[in-house]
């Protein structure tokens, strides 16, 4: 097992700066997810780590050794592609053994290693079955097994679940989690799917336009997003955003929005220090709000119900406060109907405030 270090990686294709400045470390046995939308630079970053792309600038270290000039096959990297790239005309044994065979490893050692990998990945019963007849789950395990057979220091996975249906993806995601727990190898996992990242990663690097906006644990990314982009990208349904400005009411700092205001005196000092009139963005997750059919708290806000998505014991309520739309995800409330009026209370301990101009988080 090895530690991976990426320092100030940058990649330019003509006039396109695909990766602007990526830096992170992955500890031994840790799984780091590079998460972001298409075109954000995550796959290009992975390819530079693997040696398939040459960095315009920056450095990649594996186990403390600079590998920028080391060819891919000598970096100690195991790579699993989006399409798995399994040899369908070969059986499972030969697929797993392929990397060892081209390295002229003795036959006895190959057989022992393939047996070890097959037991680890539950492939014993299909070892001599052609890959063409395997299920997607089995093909995935074969692709991982072929990478593991050569004892890589670092395992790289590039969107391995993006081409399968939702039900299969759920099952394969659980299997990947179990495999990673069993093998304990240093892993970088590229995905655009926030659920995969939140489920599989020890830490997540959220990428946006070639930069890492936020690097942290899944809980940190969700609870304390550092930018508007991260807050918008993480969470389903997405966080609510309401444009507001800082004012003063009855001697107290107040967030003023269309249709309501919030006492800001209990919020962070960074918010209260802003000049009166500062333009801000208030963020609140749908699950950090609740409904009242009658106004029971002083700060509850009157809202019109526009749509209700029934999810069983919980529902997503599409509301409008003034001109501001608001989603609330909470327990299904009796007597609440489309076109009706409700009162909304926000959990003030879980509000997020962002600078409208920079997009940076203030709390």
Q: Give yes or no: residues 206 and 338 share one domain.
A: no
- CATH classification at residue 331: 2.40.50.140
Is the pLDDT reported for residue 133 higher than 90?
no
Q: Give yes or no: residues 250 and 219 share one domain.
A: no
Q: Give yes or no: residues 103 and 216 share one domain.
A: yes
Provide the pLDDT confidence category of residue 139 given band limits of 50, 70 and 90. Answer: confident
pLDDT at res. 235: 94
Is the pLDDT reported for residue 48 higher than 80?
yes
**Which domain, by its residues, includes 153?**
4-233
Mean pLDDT value across residues 18-33: 96
Mean pLDDT value across residues 166-173: 78
pLDDT tens, 273-316?
A: 888 889 999 999 999 998 988 888 877 899 999 999 999 889 99
pLDDT tens, 245-284?
A: 999 888 888 899 987 888 888 777 778 788 888 999 999 9
Q: Give yes or no: residues 293 and 310 share one domain.
A: yes
pLDDT at res. 4: 97
Which of 168, 199, 233 is where one domain is finished? 233
pLDDT at res. 265: 81
pLDDT at res. 85: 77
Q: Give yes or no: residues 255 and 331 share one domain.
A: yes
Mean pLDDT, all residues of the chain: 91
Is the pLDDT reported for residue 112 higher than 90?
yes
Say which range, 149-163, 185-199, 235-249, has the weakest mean pLDDT.
149-163
Domain count, the chain: 2
Q: Give yes or no: residues 206 and 295 share one domain.
A: no
pTM of the model: 0.89
- Mind spelling out the 3-state secondary structure of the chain? CCCEEEEEEEEEECCEEEEEEEEEEECCCCEEEEECCCCCCHHHHHHHHHCCCCCCEEEEEECCEECCCCCHHHCCEEEECCCCCCCCCCEHHHHHHHHHHCCCCCHHHHHHHHHHHHHHCCCHHHCCCEHHHCCHHHHHHHHHHHHHCCCCCEEEEECCCCCCCHHHHHHHHHHHHHHHHHHCCEEEEEECCHHHHHHHCCEEEEEECCEEEEEECHHHHHHCCCEHHHHHHCCCCCCEEEEEEEEEECCEEEEEECCEEEECCCCCHHHHCCCCCCEEEEEECHHHEEEECCCCCCCCEEEEEEEEEECCCEEEEEEEECCEEEEEEEECCCCCCCCCEEEEEECHHHCEEEECCCCEECC
Is the pLDDT reported for residue 154 higher than 90?
yes
Q: Give yes or no: residues 51 and 194 share one domain.
A: yes
Pair type for strands 77-80 and 65-66: unpaired
Answer yes or no: is 176 within a domain: yes
Answer yes or no: is 125 within a domain: yes
Which of 208, 233, 258 is where one domain is finished? 233
Q: Give yes or no: residues 204 and 268 share one domain.
A: no
């Amino acid at each position: 097992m090895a530690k991976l270090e990426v320092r100030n990686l940058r990649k330019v294709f003509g006039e396109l700066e695909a990766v602007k400045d990526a830096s992170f470390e992955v500890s031994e046995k840790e799984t780091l997810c590079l998460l972001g939308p298409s075109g954000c630079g995550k796959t290009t970053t992975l390819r530079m780590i693997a040696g398939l792309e040459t960095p315009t600038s920056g450095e990649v270290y594996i186990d403390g050794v600079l590998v920028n000039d080391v060819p891919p096959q000598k970096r100690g990297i195991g790579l699993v592609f989006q399409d798995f790239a399994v040899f369908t005309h070969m059986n499972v044994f030969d697929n797993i053994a392929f990397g060892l065979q081209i390295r002229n490893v003795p036959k006895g050692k190959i057989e022992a290693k393939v047996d070890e990998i097959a037991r680890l990945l539950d492939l014993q019963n299909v070892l001599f079955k052609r890959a063409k007849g395997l299920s997607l789950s089995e093909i995935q395990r074969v692709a991982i097994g072929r990478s593991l057979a050569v004892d890589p220091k670092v395992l790289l996975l590039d969107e391995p679940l993006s081409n399968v249906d939702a039900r299969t993806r759920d099952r394969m995601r659980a299997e990947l989690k179990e495999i990673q727990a069993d093998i304990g190898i240093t892993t970088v996992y590229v995905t655009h799917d926030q659920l995969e990242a939140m489920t599989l990663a020890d830490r997540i690097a959220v990428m946006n336009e070639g930069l890492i906006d936020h690097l942290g644990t899944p809980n940190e990314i969700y609870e304390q997003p550092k930018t508007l982009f991260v807050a918008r990208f993480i969470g389903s349904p997405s966080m609510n955003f309401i444009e507001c400005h800082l004012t003063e009411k009855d001697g107290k700092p107040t967030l003023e929005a269309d249709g309501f205001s919030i006492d800001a005196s209990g919020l962070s000092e960074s918010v209260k220090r802003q000049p009166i009139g500062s333009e801000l963005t208030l963020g609140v997750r749908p699950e950090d709000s609740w409904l009242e059919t009658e106004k029971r708290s002083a700060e509850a806000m009157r809202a019109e119900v526009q749509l209700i998505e029934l999810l069983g014991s919980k529902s997503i309520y599409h509301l409008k406060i003034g001109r501001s739309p608001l989603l609330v995800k909470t327990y299904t409330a009796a007597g609440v109907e489309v076109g009706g009026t409700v009162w909304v209370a926000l959990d003030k301990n879980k509000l997020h405030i962002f600078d409208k101009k920079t997009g940076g988080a203030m709390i």
